[in-house]
Amino acid sequence: MDWKKSINAFIMNRKITVILIFLLFLAIVLIAISLGPVKLSLRELFFGQYSNILRLRITRVILGLVAGAGLAVAGVIFQGILRNPLAEPYVLGVSSGAGLGAALALFFNLSMELLPLTAFLGAVLTMFIVYNLAKLNGKVSTQGLILSGVIVGAVFASLLLFFVSISTNEAMHGITWWLLGSLQVFDIKLLIAVSIMILTGICIAIYFARDLNAISLGEEEALHLGINVDAVKKILFIIASLISGSIVCVCGIIGFVGLIIPHAVRLICGSDHRLVLPVSAISGGAFLILADTISRTLMPPVEVPIGVITAFIGGTVFIFLLRKKQKAPF
């Protein structure tokens, strides 16, 4: 029958799209490894006397993959549970809160192993404050959420700079570059620990993909389907905050990845979170690796902060989506 052929064609097109995205990701990884201030071919990198350069580039690619995947998935989660297309860690102030948490750990000379924990606590506290500030008569408006996120993010960013200015810790004064976003890996152990946390968070988010589909349609519909909406939302809020905080403590504040990637993926793959979440993870990793490659090669030997690249692209997309949101509901 014609409808069966249409469904099969639709599924096949989705599979082809996912395969193409994965192949594009592999191509970007190879480009990122081969390009840099020092121009070397892949043959020279893998078979020559440049093992140190190869190691540096591979660790940056790994961090870009993990961080980009985490930011994209966190964006999908926030957009799904808040039913707001503009929600993402940077816009909601979560990244600034996580940055403040990490900076306080340095300010009080805490162990480096506690950085992910303090960043996570900062992210959770920020999300709690933003969500409650935006709530009016039990409802959260789009404008209120964005406004609250911008205000809280600005306040926390100011506090962060305050602690940097009064600190005698040399690590704190070197934090300015980190705040602009960077994929330089200084601690392999921290990278491994953060990668495990982020990948675990992504897997948990994918596990709740069906619940996220229902919540995205409306809380009443989700309740009728037997979903414990409050419990699922709390779990996903914690997961998204954990992912965001973990990324900030390693990469600094990188904005708009969680805004750009989920929208692009939905345009290509539809709105089913069972597909959107894993494809967003791959696409987010590819996007951040590409942005990092641009940041390293745009003005050699000077490295442009990666946050500048993502903000330039993401800011434009954010303005477009904000204008679109004013004309039509999510």
Complete domains list, the chain, with CATH: 2-327 (1.10.3470.10)
Q: CA dist 103 to 169, 185, 305, Å?
A: 11, 18, 19
Confidence at residue 206, expressed as pLDDT on a 0 to 100 scale: 94
pLDDT averaged over the chain?
83
292-325 pLDDT, tens per residue? 999 888 887 778 888 888 888 877 777 776 666 5
Whole-prediction pTM value?
0.84
**CB neighbourhood size of 115 (10 A):** 24
Q: Is the peptide bond prior to 301 cis by the omega test (within 30 degrees of 0)?
A: yes
Q: Looking at residues 64-84, what average pLDDT do you find?
A: 91
26-71 pLDDT, tens per residue? 999 988 988 887 777 777 777 777 878 888 889 999 999 999 999 9
Q: CA dist 192 to 109, 113, 306, Å?
A: 22, 12, 21
- Measured between alpha carbons, how far is 218 from 216 in angstroms, rounded to an integer? 5
- Measured between alpha carbons, how far is 275 from 273 in angstroms, rounded to an integer? 5
In this structure, of 5-14, 221-230, 255-264, the range with the lowest mean pLDDT score is 5-14
Give the up-direction half-sphere exposure of residue 245: CA atoms within 13 A in the CB hemisphere: 29
Q: Looking at residues 190-196, what average pLDDT do you find?
A: 88
Q: How confident is the model at residue 10 (pLDDT cuts 50, 70, 90)?
A: very low
Confidence at residue 330, expressed as pLDDT on a 0 to 100 scale: 46
